[in-house]
Each structure stands twice: as structure tokens, then as C-alpha cells.
Amino acid sequence: MEKLIISDIEIELTKKNIKNLHLSVHPPDGRVRISAPQHMDIDSIRLFAISKLSWIRRQQKKYINQEREPEKEYVSGESHYFLGQRYLLNLIYTNKRKQGVEVRNKKYIDLYVRENTPEYLRERVMTEWYRKELRELIPPLIAKWEPIMGVKVNEFGVKKMKTRWGSCNPEAKRIWLNLELAKKSPACIEYVLVHEMAHLLERSHNEVFVAYMDKFLPNWRAIKAELNGLIYE
């Protein structure tokens, strides 16, 4: 990956087998990326970036001005997200051996733990609940899309990922999804799954891959924008 510096803005540049330039600004800090056709020279890319500087600065300003979400302590009154909806956490002490999580009245997430349970264990209970919920959502979606796309998923899993929403191993026909997707809308979850399943048809993010996405999920760009931030194409 190359880097361009234009008017004090650092831009990550990747060349791909694509037809057009793609410019994107990503949360939380307004990171800028350009994907360019492999044959395009650096001067043309630089001129394109310069022409979009005012747009880039506007999007970065939005992220900079956004209120940063505080670190979670897993106590009553905190905001937590599930399937794209905001809930208030309600910490409930229980003497029962089993600890767990329940969604109540479309407003609250009740976290049941024993008294004096430390923060890291409260977080663990929440994390495992998110994992369980996401794992239950995926099989029906796979069953829906396999016949539509003409592919077969042999295995899927859920794990924490720092830089990706999902990954695919075409040889093993195995798909991994980011645990954080449990906090996103069902449309975002479905988009990521379809994206990874499309890699069973085409490995690279080239024009063939984009054509598959356009065919199977015509509004995928709008959903990607919701998931990743502001996109300019």
C-alpha cells in the first residue's frame, strides 16, 4: 500500500483491477483511502485527490466533531447497541449460577451477574451473548443465499477482527464474521455475508466481483456506506 501526502492529508493508496477511482473517508478518525486502477499513473491520482480535497475535509470534520463514545464499564445506564438499535444496560445481581443477558421492552439490555463480578467478567458475559446471537442469525442467511448465488458454505465462524468485517477461505469454503457485526443492523450483517460468499465466486475485489455484488445485492454500496462511514465513488 502506497501513501500520498496532499495538503497535509495522508491518503492510503491501493491499486486494483478496477475501472474507476474510488475515494472513501473512514471513522473514527477520518482516515482517507483511494483505490485506483492498476494502469493509472500517480500524477492522475494526485490530481483526482486534489480535486476532492474540500469534500475530504468536510467528511473528516464530521468525524472529528462527533462525540467519542466512552469506554464501556458494563454498568447500569450505559448505551449498548444490538442489531443496529440502541439499548440501555441494566445491571442485575443474581444468586443463580447461570449469568446471562436478556433484551427487554425494545429498550433495555438486562445483564445478570453475581454481585461483585469484576468488569472484565461482565464484559465477557456480554461478549459471549453477542457471539451466540450472531451465530444464530447466520445459518438462515446462508441457507437463503446459497441457492441464489449458486455456492456452498462449508463452515462459518465468529471472531473479533481489528480491520475487517469478514473474511473468506475459498478453498475450504469457510467464512469468518466480525463479532462487532452483532451491534450492526441486519442489513449490514447480510451485506457482509453476501460479500464474503461472493468471494467463493471471485477471489479479488475486481470488476467481476463488483458485478456479482451488483447482481445479488444492488443496494450494497449504500449498506457499505452505513457500515463503514462516508463513501465517495
Cell of 118: 469484576
- CATH match of 131-228 with 3.30.2010.10: yes
Q: What is the mean predicted confidence (pLDDT) over 176-204? A: 96
Q: Cα-flanking dihedrals φ and ψ of residue 2, to 5°?
A: -90, 165
DSSP secondary structure of 18-64: -SS-EEEEETTTTEEEEEEETT--HHHHHHHHHHTHHHHHHHHHHHH
Amino acid at 149: M
Q: Which residues of 186-196 are buried (b: 16+ CB within 10 A; e: fewer)?
A: ebbbbbbbbbb
pTM: 0.73
Query: pLDDT per residue over 104-124, tens digit each?
Result: 999 999 999 999 999 999 999
**In the chain, domain spans:** 2-65, 131-228
In this predicted structure, the answer to whether residue 220 has a pLDDT above a threshold of 90 is: yes
